[in-house]
Amino acid sequence: MNKDLYKILEVNKNASESDIKKAYRTMAKKYHPDKNPDNKEAEQKFKDVAEAYEVLSDPNKKARYDSMGYDAYNGGPTQNHANPHDMFANFFNSMREQQENEQLKRQHTIIQKIALTMEEVYHGVTKKFKYKRSVKCGTCNGKGGENIVRCEACNGQGVQYRIIQTQLGRMQETISCNSCSGRGFKIGKTCNSCSGQGLVRVDEILEVKIPHSVMPNQHIVSRNKGHYYADRSGERYGDMVMLVEINQDKYTIIEDYGLMSKVDIPYEVMVLGGEFTFDSVDGSKVKVPVSKLSDIGHKLKLKGKGLKNPNQSVRGDQYIMLDLKFPTEITEEEEKLLNELKKLKG
């Protein structure tokens, strides 16, 4: 019988490894015997799904199947069908271990706010800043002390295993050993330098290149610049994540990498027209004309004076919103002229 393994998993032949894994997870849940008791058809589909995933998730087996087809592949001497239930349990154990590793990474990642001016955002900038992080203690080499003995509770593995009952059946769960806090060993004599923690706090100086046109709350990541930790796979460092904060008092970022600024204009210029000098974010001074009888809130556009789109070669525009600069004092001559204007308006 010539089975179409791609059709069984409902994926196409160009499906990625993650697409195949996702499809297997969905189909295996759907046809799992625990969810379909006494259903022979579902049981067979569950076996077919497991077989399809066994082949398509292995690059060598997949290549052989693609070139030879199911009948030729199935008749080969190296075919070895796995237990579908074991495959399903291993799949979820692998996912759980990956999630635990990602969680450990996040726990040892440092988040640091970094303040930028709009001029720095416009041009890009290199910043140096000082921070503290935990590194491996050099005195005890990260062990926390001397007379290290293997933890008997976990046999030095740092983890323990237990069987749990889920809707999908019995599965093996991996948990951190409570007896040794996941270290796999216990300390006889505590290190004085790190008080048994295996870690010491140090000052670090990090130089970071900030690209132009970053956005508020954007994350800039420096890999392995966070806190030290060790897991079952070896020694690791978390990341340094910089959270961008931008001073937008003078320039506000708007859509399409544009900028908006509010400028106070004297009432005589708003009425009679004229011009003013605008300090552009690129450092230049621009003469901006104002039309006669301009309204409060009227917007003027300086084309190409905004931020540069990182994905294109064009810049956004700078918009200027006019506001009335109300005088705080008035001369006798100005008062006289205004009274004459008042009489004229009658």
Residue 234 has what pLDDT? 80
Cβ contact 302:277 at 8 Å: no
Distances (CA, A) of 155 to 4, 176, 191: 45, 12, 23
Residue 76 has what pLDDT? 46
Give the residue-averaged pLDDT of 177-181. 86
Question: Mean pLDDT for the chain?
Answer: 87
Q: What percent of the chain has pLDDT over 70?
A: 87
- The per-residue pLDDT for range 92-145, each reduced to its tens digit, is 556 666 666 678 788 999 999 999 999 999 999 999 999 999 999 999 998 889
Query: What is the domain partition of the chain in residue ranges?
Result: 5-82, 252-345
pLDDT reading at 290 higher than 80 = yes
pTM above 0.75, yes or no: no
Residue 82 has what pLDDT? 52
| Fold classified for 252-345 | HSP40/DNAj peptide-binding domain (2.60.260)
Q: Which residues are annotated as a binding site?
A: 137, 140, 151, 154, 177, 180, 191, 194
- The per-residue pLDDT for range 63-90, each reduced to its tens digit, is 778 766 776 555 444 444 555 555 555 5
Phi, psi of 221 (to 5 degrees): -110, 130
83 versus 216: which is more confidently predicted? Answer: 216
Residue 91 has what pLDDT? 60
Q: Which residues are annotated as a binding site for Zn(2+)?
A: 137, 140, 151, 154, 177, 180, 191, 194
Residue 246 has what pLDDT? 97
Phi, psi of 16 (to 5 degrees): -75, 170
**The two three-digit tokens of residue 169, written as one number:** 């059946």
> What CATH architecture is 5-82?
Orthogonal Bundle (1.10)
Phi, psi of 26 (to 5 degrees): -65, -45
183 CB contacts (<8 Å, ≥6 apart)?
144, 151, 158, 177
- The per-residue pLDDT for range 232-279, each reduced to its tens digit, is 678 899 999 999 999 999 999 999 999 999 999 999 999 999 999 999
